[in-house]
A and B are shown apart, each in its own frame.
Chain A
């Protein structure tokens, strides 16, 4: 059973702080990794993807991947109340040809 694990939270951070969201996955052959943001009552939207080990930065967001540890994280710098949402980690396991396996999501709350 291929699994994606996330701490459900809630993770609470003050405005302006760095929020760190973590995700582990079970399939060592996984090829690509995605972070989706889901506001309450809305559908998921893609915010970051990463394919190679290391860091990938996009504005206030940084995705980090460590395939040896089967670990992917998302850092949000200068967190804003508008970042309050559930963040879903999704993994494309090896051989699945595009079928993503989603974690349960981590609920982030940014306090003004």
Chain B
């Protein structure tokens, strides 16, 4: 069974540029999460989807971050414009039930 797939693995951009990350969850997993992980920290939730619906986006900085999950499968997380402080690893995860998350390899963003 294929795991959670994310792309790109690495992205280097200059500040104020836009960037987008893509995630394909495990087949059959209705719940999809985007987490942010800074070096030496645990993952922090940005947004959680149940099928197409964003059920918790309270931690998503909506002035520059947006996300979508069309058709309840793939998801895209966008940052526009990126700031220096956005440099981090963006993790996508999916689950069938609460808590048992399966993570993708992550997308490492460097903003110069």
- On A, residues with C-beta under 8 Å from B are 4, 8, 32, 34, 42-46, 49, 88, 90, 92, 96-105
Contacts and interface: CB of A to CB of B under 8 A. Distances in A.
Contact of A46 (B44, B100, B105): B100
B99 A90 contact: yes
B100 A99 contact: no
Given A98-B98, A99-B45, A100-B45, A43 B103 contact: yes
Given A100-B45, A103-B42, A104-B41, A32 B102 contact: no
Contacts of A90: 42, 99
A74 B67 CA distance: 35
A91 to B, nearest CB: 9
Nearest to A89: B42
